[in-house]
Structure 1
């Protein structure tokens, strides 16, 4: 038992050391994505203060489509910034954008690509029928409804009879 406690203590020490090192690797400031939600074809601006006043960063936005590019120092600011256009072919979803500063700091930000088209006033909802197998264009079929109700009633009656027989000790 004593060995288990010392192993548990050692595991917690290693875990705590690992977790303490994580903030040292992550940079302060993060990657700001504006707008956070964009439509395919829209222009997105990225900025960060993590790279310092004259720092640059290489950005990997390959998940959403534009590929790698560089954030440059913003004049009269302690920020690095840049822009890219969301490709028209981008699929809706949330994409992580990663920037690595020239000093080694790594920052991330999320971009949400929506259904809306560039310049639209609100989100565009999908339209059309869903082929789920339920219902029909001409309304419900009374014969199919009656057959379904009969099948459910028969299943309920058989189940009740089997449970009653089992409770009386008759077996199955």
Structure 2
């Protein structure tokens, strides 16, 4: 039993050590270029941001692939990201375009995709109100009419039961 435990512990430690050697020395990829919205119609405004340029870093943006030209990404108020904005020209054709930002310090280049469509993405619409089926509802808005309907159904049910009972006894109708 002890030998098996030692063997399993040794294997786990060896796998863990290999994982430490292979694991990257940084927490992530330093960020790419986030494009918001990722899908836009011609003439729409697009915001971009990246954390790849470091704290307080700025970048030069290039959206010439879509026809918007160059723009600047300035450090945000928090200082952790560089933010920029550009307008997609009204003459832009539908398709997927690459937007590029090059950090001022170090020259790191990050990219993001922008999809140009002819129709604006629609928000999901949730139904509300009643369904007009033509049958009507079980309960109306008037409690007096509702009570009268319930009473009429009760009388009909009682009368039907009485007639069936008489027929079963052989009294006839």
Q: TM-score, normalised by structure 1?
A: 0.52
Q: How far apart are residue 70 of structure 1 and its match?
A: 1.0
User: After superposition, where does 1:1-172 map in structure 2 within 5 Å?
Assistant: 28-103=30-105, 104-116=107-119, 121=122
Distance in 1 (alpha carbons) for counterparts of 2:30 and 2:115: 22
Structure 1 consecutive aligned stretches of length 4 or more whose deviation exceeds 4 Å: none
1:58-91 CA-to-partner distances (Å, cap 9, x unmatched) read 1111010110111000112400001111111000
Equivalent pair of 2:71/2:85 in contact (CA under 8 Å):
no
How much has 1:116 moved relative to structure 2? 1.3
Q: Look at both structures and tell me which one has the larger radius of gyration over its CA atoms.
A: 2
Q: 1:37 & 1:121 partners in 2: Cα distance?
A: 11
Over the residues paired in the alignment, what is the CA RMSD in angstroms?
1.6
Secondary structure of 1:58's partner? strand
Describe the SS at the equivalent of 1:97. strand
Q: What is the CA–CA distance in structure 1 between the aligned matches of 2:86 and 2:31, rounded to whole Å? A: 20
2:52·2:110 contact (CA, 8 Å) conserved in 1?
Answer: yes
Contact 2:58 2:75 (8 Å CA) reproduced: yes
SS at structure 2 position matched to 1:53: coil
- Count of aligned positions: 94
Aligned-partner Cα distance in 1 for 2:54–2:61: 16
Deviation at 1:121, TM superposition (A): 3.3
Give the Cα separation in 1 of the matches to 2:45 and 2:52: 22
Whole-Å separation in 2 of the counterparts to 1:100 and 1:31 = 10
Unaligned runs of at least 5 residues, structure 2: 1-28, 124-173
